[in-house]
Amino acid sequence: MHSRPVAMLLNLGHAIDHMFLLIFATAVTAIAAEFGFSRWEDLMPYGVGAAFMFGLGSIPSGRLGDFWGRRAMMLIFYFGMGASAILVALTQNVWQMAAALTVLGLFSSIYHPVGVPMLVRNSKNPGFTIGFNGLVGNFGIAAAAVITGLLIKYFNWRLAFVIPGLGSIAAGVAFALLTPKETEPPAHRKGGGTMPSREVMGRILPVMTVTAMTGSVIFNFATSGNQQLLTERFVGLIEDPAVLGAMLGAVYVLASLSQIVVGKLIDRYPLKRVFLAVIVAQAPLFALAAVAQGWTLLLLQLGFMVFVFGAVPFNDAIMVRYVDDQMRSRIAGMRLAISFSFSSIAVGMLGPMVKAAGFQTLLFVMAGVALLTLFVVTLLPSEQPRAKLATAGA
């Protein structure tokens, strides 16, 4: 088990990861104005590199985490995220920004295949550990909405990158001082747990991969588009970006609590049953939000984000349940590379799709993706009810 300060820093890393990736999407209107774009939608494709490298970089990140060491990789994560965020703030045109965001995406690829396996190793309640980690990660999403909105209102979009960047570097210094050095990398440890049969793994890995892909598309469409959706649907009611950012931040904070509930449920009940219950609620909420305006839209936005965030812990929980710690970073890296690289297309499509067809079409598309996810989850092997998820492994 990690000491409490180390566990706090590992959880903070999840907040940093998600916050930094959403600063651009939150500040895109201000950046577009400075760089001479008349519409924010036209700037969104320049952020595709970050989303693509967030996925593709997971393969080398996972392999290095298992064979070189997770502590060393996390240090690279904290310092790399901080430096690349500051680099984004120094850019002077859209192509420089696209390159800097791609570098940011590469460093961001480290956290999920390295930080999460490091955190859950030897956890007695892995479901709760994963759920709480997801909650903190979503606080990072909320922070992106609130902090970026405030910094843009009172200063400028560049400080929205610089200040969090300095915070990440400070976290890296603390992590270096507080985290003991690893005696050996995970892949070289002895006494690992027993792997499930090939038949079970043959069903688990495709489900993990496809649900990660569909979940990433929904997650990226929702979190990258929510600020602009709120802005569009509140025209004539509220137009202050700081107030809208605070409202969206409140939605994220409240919705994030679902991950704690889900974490406790998957420590007590079969994964498949809980997973189905969460996914089945997504499609109708997206469909209703497609035609809603104003305060009704805000309530539905809270509703669908509860179940978008609530679905996040499942792939990590499946990995803890079925994959030995010696190879978790590699398995997670391969899964994330496929899913996040695929979902980077969603980030690139967001602006053009909204420009061409509007948010209503986007939300109906998200409802369709949710139905596909529901079908895939039915393919998970059934489990007998148990008191707790299997121990996270040595």
The DSSP-derived string for 191-245 is ---PPPPHHHHHHHHHHHHHHHHHHHHHHHHHHHHHHHHHHHHTTTT---HHHHH
Would 388 be classed as within a structural domain? no
Instruction: Yes or no: say if 66 and 186 are a contact pair by the CB < 8 Å rule.
Output: yes
Across the chain, which has 394 residues, the per-10-residue mean pLDDT values are: 82 91 82 81 77 82 84 94 94 90 92 87 79 84 80 86 94 93 74 57 76 81 78 82 81 86 84 88 92 90 90 80 74 74 65 72 87 87 52 42
Would 372 be classed as within a structural domain? yes
At 338, list the tokens. 């496929």
CATH code for the domain of 215? 1.20.1250.20
What pLDDT is stored for residue 9 in this prediction?
A: 93
Would 142 be classed as within a structural domain? yes
What pLDDT is stored for residue 387 in this prediction?
A: 42
Q: Comparing C-alpha atoms, which of 262, 212, 249 is closest to residue 373? A: 212
Residue 166 CB neighbour total at 10 angstroms: 13
What pLDDT is stored for residue 236 in this prediction?
A: 79
Residue 390 CB neighbour total at 10 angstroms: 12
User: Looking at the chain, how many residues does it have?
Assistant: 394
- Read off the amino acid at residue 176: A
Domain, as residue range, for 105: 4-183+198-377
Residue 324 DSSP class: -
Q: In Å, how far are 156, 165, 244, 333 from 226, measured between CA atoms? A: 21, 23, 10, 27
- Read off the amino acid at residue 254: L
Instruction: Yes or no: say if 100 and 86 are a contact pair by the CB < 8 Å rule.
Output: no
Tell me the residue ranges of DSSP E strands in 257-364: none
At 272, list the tokens. 């498949």
What pLDDT is stored for residue 234 in this prediction?
A: 84
At 90, list the tokens. 């120094």
Would 188 be classed as within a structural domain? no
What pLDDT is stored for residue 393 in this prediction?
A: 43
Instruction: Yes or no: say if 337 and 55 are a contact pair by the CB < 8 Å rule.
Output: yes
- Between CA 266 and CA 127 the distance in angstroms is 6
CA angle, corner 257, sides to 337 and 52, nearest 5?
Answer: 20
Q: CA dihedral in degrees (18, 56, 210, 334; nearest 10)?
A: -110
Instruction: Yes or no: say if 329 and 200 are a contact pair by the CB < 8 Å rule.
Output: no
Q: In Å, how far are 109, 220, 315 from 214, measured between CA atoms? A: 18, 10, 12
**Number of domains composing the chain:** 1
Cβ-proximal residues to 54 (8 Å cutoff; 6+ apart), any chain: 21, 105, 108, 109, 340, 344
Radius of gyration of the chain from Cα atoms?
A: 20
Would 394 be classed as within a structural domain? no
What pLDDT is stored for residue 74 in this prediction?
A: 94
Would 387 be classed as within a structural domain? no
Sign of CA dihedral 370, 374, 379, 384: positive
In order, the DSSP letters of 244-280 are HHHHHHHHHHHHHHHHHHHHHHHHHS-HHHHHHHHHT
Would 191 be classed as within a structural domain? no
- Between CA 243 and CA 146 the distance in angstroms is 8
- Between CA 19 and CA 40 the distance in angstroms is 20
